[in-house]
Amino acid sequence: MLEAYPDNRLARILLWSFCALVMAFLILPTLVVVPLSFSASNLLEFPPRAYSLRWYETFFGSATWMAALRTSLILGTLTAMIAVPLGLLASISINRLGGKAAVAIQGVLLTPSIVPGILLAIGLFFVLAAQRLVGTLFGVLVGHVVLAIPVACIVLLPALARFDWNQVQAARSLGANWARAIGGIIVPQLQISLLSATLMAFLTSLDESVISIFVSSGQNSTLPKLMFISLRDQIDPTIAAISTLWTVIVVAVVLIVTLRQKS
C-alpha cells in the first residue's frame, strides 16, 4: 500500500521497529514461562541457574492436578461432540431460511459470546443451584456447550455460504432423504471447516475459566479453575510447567491443522 512512497525510509524503519516492539509485547508472556518451567528453584530467576523437571513431576504426580486435567479433557471432548453437530444443524437452518428468521436465530445463538462471561456464570449458578446441580459435571458441561455453539456457528456459517447447494438438490432428486443429504453430501465436503469448528469448540471448553470457577467445585474442578485459585494465592512454579505444556500442545495442534488445510 505504501509503495507509492519509496523514499520515506525513516518512516518505514520507525514503523517496522514499532511493529517489532508490539509483537514482542504480545509474545513475551507466553515465551517467558517456558524456561521457568525447567528451573530447579522455586524462586523467580531468569535465566534459571539450574535446570530440572521437578515441576513437571509435581504436576503429573499430583492427584488433584491430574483429576482437574482429566475433567477438563473430558469436558472438552464432550463439548465438541455436542456443540459441533448442533452448530452444524443450526448453521444449515440459518443458511436455508434466510431473511428475518435467519437474523433472529443468529442473534439468539450469538448471545453467549456477547454477554459478559461473569453474567452467564452467576446466572447459570442460580439456575443450577435451584436444581441442586452446582458442582456437577453436567452443570459445567452445559455452560461450556452454550459457549461453544456460537463459536462453531462462526466457523461453519461462512463455510456453508460457500457451499454449492445444488449438490444437495441433485442428491434429493436422486432419492436421498435429508439425513443422507446432510450426512453424505454436506458433511464430507465441509471436513476442513468441521475440523476447525471441533478444534475451536474443544479449545473454548478447555480454556473456559469464568463459568468453571463459579459452577464447578471439588472433584469436578477444571484445570483452569485450579490454576486460577493457585494464581490468586501464590505463584506456584507448577503452573509454569502446565502453561508450557498447554502452549506447546495447542500450538502444535493448530499448526498441524493449518498445515493440513494448506495441502
Partner 1 sequence: MTVIADPFLAADARRERRFFLSLSLPALFIVGLAAILPIVWIIRQSFLTTAGEYTVGNYEKVLSSGLTWSALVTTLELSLGTLAICILLGTPLALALASARPRVANLLMAFVMLPLWTSILVRTYGWLVLLRRDGLINAALTGSGLTAEPLPLVYNFTGTLIGMVHYMLPLFLLPVYAAMRDIDANLVRASASMGATLGQTIRTVILPLSAGGIFSGSIIVLIYTIGFFITPAVLGGGKVNPLSTRIERTLSTFQDWGSASVLGILLLVLMALIGVMFLAARRLIAGHKVGTAHA
Partner 2 sequence: MMKSLPITIDSVRKAYGSYVALDDVSLDIRGGELLTLLGPSGSGKTTLLMALAGFVRPDSGKLLLGDRDITRLAPNKRDIGIVFQNYALFPHMNVLANVEYPLALRKTPKAEARQRALDALARVKLEGLAERNIAALSGGQRQRVALARAIVFEPRVMLMDEPLSALDKNLRETMQYEIRRLHDDLGITTIYVTHDQREALIMSDRVAVMNSGRIQQIDTPQQIYDRPSTRFVAEFMGEANIVAPGSVRRIDGADASREALMIRAESFHLDAKLVGRDGVALDGVLRAKAFRGENWLLTLALDGGQEILVSIPAALASGCAELAPGRRLTAYAPAAKVHAMPGAKA
Binding to partner 1 (CB under 8 A): which residues in 87-106? 87, 89-90, 92-94, 96-97, 101, 105
Q: Which does 174 bind (CB under 5 to 8 A by kind): partner 2, partner 1, none?
A: none
Q: Is 4 in the site for partner 1 (CB under 8 A)?
A: yes
Residues 146, 109 contacting (CB under 8 angstroms): no
CB of 32 to partner 1, least distance (A): 5
Q: Which does 22 bind (CB under 5 to 8 A by kind): partner 1, partner 2, none?
A: partner 1
Name the residue nearer to partner 1 (CB basis): 149 or 171.
Answer: 149
CB-based contacts of 60, cutoff 8 Å, min separation 6:
66
Among 1, 6, 46, 179, binds partner 2 (CB under 8 A): 6
Q: Which of 155, 140, 150 is nearest to 206 (CA)?
A: 140
CB of 230 to partner 1, least distance (A): 9
CB of 4 to partner 2, least distance (A): 6
Query: Grid cell 485450579 — which residue?
Result: 226
Q: Is 53 in the site for partner 1 (CB under 8 A)?
A: no
Alpha-helix runs per DSSP H in the chain = 9-37, 54-61, 63-97, 99-114, 117-130, 137-162, 166-173, 178-180, 187-189, 191-207, 210-215, 223-233, 238-262
Question: CB neighbours (10 Å) of residue 239?
Answer: 21
Segment lying near partner 2 (by CB under 8 A), choices 3-11, 64-72, 77-85, 198-206: 3-11
Q: Find the helix packing angle between 63-97 and 223-233, rounded to 10°.
A: 120
Binding to partner 1 (CB under 8 A): which residues in 131-150? 142-143, 145-146, 149
Q: Which does 233 bind (CB under 5 to 8 A by kind): partner 1, partner 2, none?
A: none
Name the residue nearer to partner 1 (CB basis): 67 or 117.
Answer: 117
How far apart, in whole angstroms, are the C-alpha atoms of residue 178 and residue 173?
11
Residues 143, 215 contacting (CB under 8 angstroms): yes
Name the residues that contact partner 2, by CB under 8 A.
Answer: 3-7
